C-alpha cells in the first residue's frame, strides 16, 4: 500500500492539523481527488490525493502531526473482513481505547463513523485527547450510528462533569454541542445543584478564602488556533533573538492627499458608465502609496530587503512586500510580489483583493509566503505611531501611523498640514543606524514628491 504523508503546504510549515477527512475508510480514492482538510500555520487547505486506491486513515480528525508523518495509506484492495471491515488503524484505535479492560480481547472493533463533523475555526487547533471508550463524554451514537457533534472543549467539560452528551441538545452550527449548552448541567444531564454558601469571613472582617479565589469572576479558557499559536511563537522568537532598534520620521503628506483626490476623481469619471465600476472606482489608499514608495526605496537599499539566517546575510533579488491584515482574532500578512515593478493602481487592486481573501479565510499559503519586507498600518484606528515586531528573518518592518492634520511650518509660516508618522524597526545584525536612516529618508522623499509613484 502507498503511504500518504503530512504535506508541506507552506514554506514555514513544520506541522499540520487534520481538520476533516473528505473520504472515509474503505472508500475508493482517485488521484487528484480532494482527500482531507489540513490547517497549517498560515491557512486551511484542502489536500488532493496523489495516489489511487482504497483509503485507510491513520490519523484522526484533530490530530496534529509533523510534516512527513504518515496520515493514511491507499491500497489496491479494501481491507479484509466483513464487507470490507474496519481497517487496521481502526482496530488499533479500538484496542487502544479498551486497553486495560478485562474483556478487551473479546471486544469487537468499533464501527466506522458514518458522519464526520468539521470542527469550527475557533476549535480547529485543539488537540484534546479523546476520552476512553465507555467514559462519560466519549463518542456516543446519535441514533443513526454517527458521532455526537460536540466541540473538544464541550467534550472535556462533559467528561469532567460526567455528563451524557446524548441527552444534550446542541445550539451550535448543525446542532453541534458547545460550552454554553453545558452551563448548569451535571451528572447525566440534570441541572447542577446550587453552590454551597461561601465560607464565613474571618474574624478581622477581611474577605474569605473562597471570595479571594473567585475574585476574578468566572474564567473562560480559549484554545489558540494553529495560526494564533504560530504568531505567538514567531513573535516571541523575534523579541528574544533579534537585537532591534527603531527610527521614526514625520512625512508631509499634502501632495499625496492632492494626488489621491485627483486619482479618485479620474477613476470615478472613467468608470461611471462601465459595468465593473464598483470594483474599479476606488482610488489607491495612502497605504498603497506607502507600499509603492517602500518598494522603490528597497530597490535602492538592498540590505533593507535582506534576511538573516544562520549567521549569514541573504540579499534577495525580488522585492516582495508583505501587508499586515487584521483577520478574525489573528494577524495575517499576504504578499505583494515584485511590488517595485507594479503600477500604483495594480498594487491597490491586489492589496484590496488579498485583504478580502484574508477576511473570508480563502487566502492560500503561496499568497502568504515569500515576503522580503513588511508594512503594518494601524492609522485607520487613529494610532499616531507604534513600534511593530519584526517578522523574522526579514531585516525590518515599517509601521504606518494615522494621517492627521498638524501644525507645520511652510515658508516661515505656521499652517495646518497633513502629516503621517512612519516608524522603521530594524534588525541591527543586518541594518546599521546610518543606512536604515537613509532608507527611511528615501521613503519620505518619495511620499513628499509622489509623482514617481505613478510611473
**DSSP per-residue string spanning 86-126:** --HHHHHHHHHHTTT-TTGGGPPPPPPPS---PPPTTTTT-
Per-residue cell: 382: 487613529
Q: Which residue has the cell 503561496?
A: 366
- Give the integer Cα–Cα distance in Å for 92 and 104: 12
- Catalytic choice (144, 301, 418, 428): 428
Listed in sequence order, the residues at least 6 apart from 320 whose beta carbon sits closer than 8 Å to its beta carbon are 335, 336, 337, 338, 339, 370, 371, 372, 373
Q: Which residue has the cell 515576503?
A: 371
Q: Which residue has the cell 546599521?
A: 432
- Give the integer Cα–Cα distance in Å for 400 and 397: 10
Nearest Cα to Cα of residue 338 among 319, 323, 322, 351: 319
* Crossing angle between the packed helical segments 254-270 and 433-448, to the nearest 10 degrees: 50
Known catalytic membership, residue 428: yes
The C-alpha R_g of the chain, in whole angstroms, comes to 28
- Give the integer Cα–Cα distance in Å for 108 and 437: 72
**Phi, psi for residue 395 in degrees, rounded to 5:** -80, -30
Q: Is 339 helix (H, G, I), strand (E, B) or coil?
A: helix
Q: Which residues of 19-47 are buried (b: 16+ CB within 10 A; e: fewer)?
A: bbbbbebbeebeeeeebbbbbbbbbbbeb
Nearest Cα to Cα of residue 35 among 10, 65, 5: 5
Q: Is 260 helix (H, G, I), strand (E, B) or coil?
A: helix
Per-residue cell: 265: 476623481
How many Cβ atoms from other residues are within 10 Å of residue 69's Cβ? 15
The gap from C-alpha 155 to its chain's centroid, in whole angstroms, comes to 24
Tell me the catalytic residues.
Answer: 428
Amino acid at each position: 500500500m502507498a503511504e500518504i504523508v503530512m504535506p508541506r503546504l507552506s514554506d514555514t510549515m513544520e506541522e499540520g492539523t487534520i481538520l476533516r477527512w473528505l473520504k472515509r475508510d474503505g472508500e475508493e480514492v482517485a488521484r487528484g481527488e480532494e482527500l482531507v482538510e489540513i490547517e497549517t500555520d498560515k491557512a486551511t487547505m484542502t489536500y488532493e490525493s496523489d495516489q489511487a486506491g482504497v483509503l485507510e486513515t491513520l490519523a484522526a480528525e484533530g490530530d496534529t502531526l509533523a510534516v512527513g508523518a504518515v496520515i493514511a495509506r491507499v491500497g489496491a484492495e479494501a481491507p479484509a473482513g466483513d464487507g470490507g471491515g474496519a481497517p487496521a488503524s481502526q482496530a488499533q484505535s479500538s484496542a487502544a481505547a479498551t486497553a486495560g479492560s478485562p474483556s478487551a480481547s473479546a471486544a469487537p472493533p468499533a464501527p466506522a463513523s458514518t458522519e464526520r463533523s468539521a470542527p469550527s475555526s475557533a476549535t480547529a487547533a485543539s488537540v484534546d485527547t479523546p476520552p476512553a471508550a465507555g467514559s462519560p463524554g466519549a463518542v456516543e451514537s446519535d441514533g443513526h450510528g454517527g458521532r455526537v457533534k460536540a466541540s473538544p472543549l464541550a467534550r472535556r467539560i462533559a467528561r469532567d462533569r460526567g455528563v451524557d452528551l446524548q441527552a444534550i441538545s446542541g445550539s451550535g452550527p448543525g446542532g453541534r454541542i458547545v460550552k454554553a449548552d453545558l452551563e448548569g448541567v451535571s451528572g447525566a444531564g440534570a441541572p447542577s445543584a446550587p453552590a454551597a454558601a461561601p465560607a464565613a469571613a474571618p474574624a478581622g472582617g477581611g474577605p474569605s478564602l473562597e471570595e479571594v479565589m473567585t475574585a476574578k469572576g468566572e474564567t473562560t479558557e480559549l484554545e489558540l488556533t494553529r495560526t494564533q499559536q504560530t504568531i505567538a511563537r514567531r513573535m516571541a522568537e523575534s523579541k528574544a533573538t533579534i537585537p532591534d532598534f527603531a527610527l521614526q520620521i514625520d512625512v508631509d503628506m499634502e501632495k499625496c492627499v492632492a494626488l489621491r483626490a485627483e486619482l479618485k476623481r479620474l477613476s470615478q469619471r472613467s468608470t461611471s458608465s462601465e459595468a465593473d465600476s464598483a470594483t474599479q472606482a476606488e482610488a489607491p489608499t495612502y497605504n498603497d502609496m506607502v507600499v509603492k514608495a517602500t518598494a522603490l526605496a528597497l530597490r535602492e537599499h538592498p540590505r533593507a530587503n535582506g534576511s538573516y539566517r544562520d549567521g549569514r546575510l541573504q540579499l534577495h533579488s525580488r522585492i516582495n512586500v508583505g501587508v499586515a491584515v487584521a483577520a478574525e482574532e489573528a494577524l495575517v500578512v499576504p504578499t505583494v510580489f515584485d511590488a517595485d515593478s507594479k503600477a500604483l493602481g495594480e498594487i491597490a487592486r491586489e492589496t484590496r483583493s488579498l485583504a478580502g481573501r484574508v477576511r473570508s479565510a480563502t487566502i492560500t499559503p503561496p499568497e502568504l509566503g515569500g515576503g522580503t519586507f513588511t508594512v503594518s498600518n494601524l492609522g485607520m484606528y487613529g494610532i499616531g505611531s507604534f513600534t511593530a515586531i519584526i517578522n523574522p528573518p526579514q531585516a525590518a518592518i515599517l509601521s504606518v501611523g494615522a494621517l492627521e492634520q498638524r501644525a507645520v511650518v511652510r515658508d516661515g509660516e505656521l499652517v495646518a498640514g497633513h502629516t503621517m508618522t512612519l516608524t522603521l524597526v530594524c534588525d541591527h545584525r543586518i541594518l546599521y543606524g546610518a543606512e536604515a536612516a537613509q532608507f527611511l529618508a528615501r521613503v519620505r522623499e518619495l511620499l513628499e514628491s509622489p509623482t514617481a509613484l505613478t510611473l
